[in-house]
A and B are shown apart, each in its own frame.
Chain A
Amino acid sequence: KAGVTQTPRYLIKTRGQQVTLSCSPISGHRSVSWYQQTPGQGLQFLFEYFSETQRNKGNFPGRFSGRQFSNSRSEMNVSTLELGDSALYLCASSLSSGGNNEQFFGPGTRLTVL
């Protein structure tokens, strides 16, 4: 069974631009969660989608948004990029919603904002 895939793996943007990251979960998994990982803050929860609905949201500004499609694939969008948005963005899929479910992580998208 193929694992979680994320595209692109690396991205360089400049301040003020916007970016869209993509995540394809493991086949059969209906929940996708997004995390931001930085050396200073560690892994911070962004949001979770289940059956095309946002189920949970972390403490991030409205510039961070996401969506999930009927095939469970998910995208996250960051508008008006800031230098502090440079991070590794990870998505994780699980069979069902909620932190108690085993989450399988993708390799991440490394975003650099210049």
Chain B
Amino acid sequence: TQLLEQSPQFLSIQEGENLTVYCNSSSVFSSLQWYRQEPGEGPVLLVTVVTGGEVKKLKRLTFQFGDARKDSSLHITAAQPGDTGLYLCAGARNDYKLSFGAGTTVTVRA
């Protein structure tokens, strides 16, 4: 059983459309990180959110941390083919371990 549940598992959209990926848990995290992984590469950190209710923007990407620090979302506006990849959320708890969700595979069609 995953500590962090990501949804949807797969997402295929047309270029220019918006998308949202969700990351949910019953556990509280001290911080939550979002990564993107491309085939043949390791995950690359996109953002870290720390404070409940925090919203961070990275160009067309908007990340939100839930008020209770148990969930997070990633929203992409006007998706482009370059946004294609596996999106992973990862939560850090006080035991110092980083727990990853199973990931959401995003495909943006030109």
Contact = CB atoms under 8 A, between A and B. Distances in A.
Q: How large is the interface on B (under 10, 10 to 19, 20 to 34, 35 or more residues)?
A: 20 to 34
Interface in A66-114: 90, 92, 97-100, 102-108
A39 B61 CA distance: 25
Contacts of A108: 41-42
A98 B96 contact: yes
Nearest to A110: B40
Contacts of A17: none
A55 interface: yes
Contacts of B40: 107
Contact of B48 (A33, A92, A102): A102
Interface of B: 2, 30-31, 33, 35, 40-45, 48, 88, 90-93, 95-103
Contact of A107 (B2, B41, B45): B41
Interface of A: 4, 33, 35, 41-45, 48, 55-56, 58, 90, 92, 97-100, 102-108
Contacts of A104: 45
A99 B92 contact: yes
Contact of B45 (A43, A55, A103): A103
A4 B48 CA distance: 20
Given A43-B100, A92-B42, A107-B42, A56 B2 contact: no
A90 B42 contact: yes
Contacts of A41: 102
Q: Which of A41, A55, A100, A106 has the most CB of B within 10 A?
A: A100
